[in-house]
Amino acid sequence: MPQDVDGRHTPSQEEQKAVFVDRGVGSPRFARPTNETVSTSNIKQDSEAKLGMPAAEGAVAAAAVADQMYGPKEDRKLVIVLVGLPARGKTFTAAKLTRYLRWLGHETKHFNVGKYRRLKHGTNQTADFFRGDNKEGVEARNEVAALAMEDMLSWMEEGGQVGICDATNSTRSRRNMLMKMAEGKCKIIFVETICNDQDVLERNIRLKVQQSPDYAEQTDFEAGVRDFKERLAYYEKVYEPVDEGSYIKMIDMVSGNGGQLQINNISGYLPGRIVFFLVNCHLTPRPILLTRHGESLDNVRGRIGGDSSLSEVGEVYSRKLASFVEKRLKSERTASIWTSTLQRTILTAQPIIGFPKIQWRALDEINAGVCDGMTYDEVKKNKPEEYEYVNSLILLLHFFPWKQGMPQDID
């Protein structure tokens, strides 16, 4: 393994083709070996080519602030209205969108209309309550939807920016009611989830009955499944797909085989980020494996920070990790490998083949500043005022003094 005078690994020409290190602010980049082909669905390829990967935290925060400051008042507040039949993944999608938008820096809240219904009418409603010809049931469900919308608008008046209305919202009359309530106060985007995969639906139905508070007191699981399917049949009779206003349709994306995303009248920074997220969103369970890098030369020397290559023990670990990943993820066609931009993580992942590799600056170790390269004993001797921070649990909240001339680009 070629090394420079400091004992650090110098990537060969072939290795440099497979590794791209981006230390600047901006989007991470794919780093693929030149002899490797990665196949994804057309929708994934198109979205990556046009939209790129998520921006770095600083750039996202700046864009989020700009998005809140400029434009008409109505456009600065956004309501995402979920639409779809039961067991189509609406609540799951709403929860993931909420988490993503909060990560982007937007004040976001998830309003689940089912919770409002259960609070007002109880949890023991049978399928008959959801019949389209049950006038009292329809009025009761519209009432709780209006209550949820009123609470959302009040929350927005107090500073909230993005509200997510989680319900079936399966008829035009219901959606028109919500649009009328939002008129002049906020912008509405409908997100419709459509799934035609019967295997996925059957699994979702059984999961719904198992977890929903509506069936918490149901002792006969199969009876609960039959009741839910009857409820679903009533919804199907009156269901009207979205064809009005601004909307995003997610069609058969839950199966994990690509699917389609249809958009209409979508513009602006934040709606664009939502489209990007939904294009790349995984609505089926998938593994996320976390690991430390293999032992580095600086680890052996007991030095803080640095950017050294792996020790012999670290190289053995990287090969064993590659073998484990090959066995564990052999059926995961869309998996990717994320590392920091530091050599020890890149080299740990190097033996892993068959997956795209992405380096994220955000995953880099906290910079040790003037203490970089020191041992703990040297820090204690030379920088006693820093030692207590280094040796305590509040390290994550501490910034080391910078070396002279070091760029202070704290993200």
**Rounded Cα–Cα distance for residues 137 and 133 (Å):** 8
DSSP assignment of 227-271 equals HHHHHHHHHHHH-----SSEEEEEES-TTSS--EEEEES--SHHH
Catalytic site residue 166? yes
Helix (H) or strand (E) segment spanning residue 189: strand 187-194
How far is residue 56 CA from its own chain's centroid? 14
Residue 156: burial class (beta carbons within 10 Å; 0-12, 13-18, 19+): buried
Catalytic site residue 74? no
Burial pattern 170-196, b for ≥16 Cβ within 10 A else e, equals: bbeebbebbbebbeeebbbbbbbbbbe
**Token pair of 156 as six digits:** 């927005």
Q: Which of 48, 151, 365, 378 is flagged as catalytic? A: 365
Q: Which of 165, 195, 281, 371 is flagged as catalytic? A: 195
Cα-flanking dihedrals φ and ψ of residue 336, to 5°?
-140, 160
**Rounded Cα–Cα distance for residues 296 and 303 (Å):** 10
Catalytic site residue 192? no
Q: Which of 214, 281, 293, 295 is flagged as catalytic? A: 293
The H-assigned helical ranges of 159-246 are 172-182, 198-211, 221-238
Q: Which of 166, 227, 307, 372 is flagged as catalytic? A: 166
**Rounded Cα–Cα distance for residues 143 and 297 (Å):** 65
Catalytic residue ranges = 166, 195, 293, 365
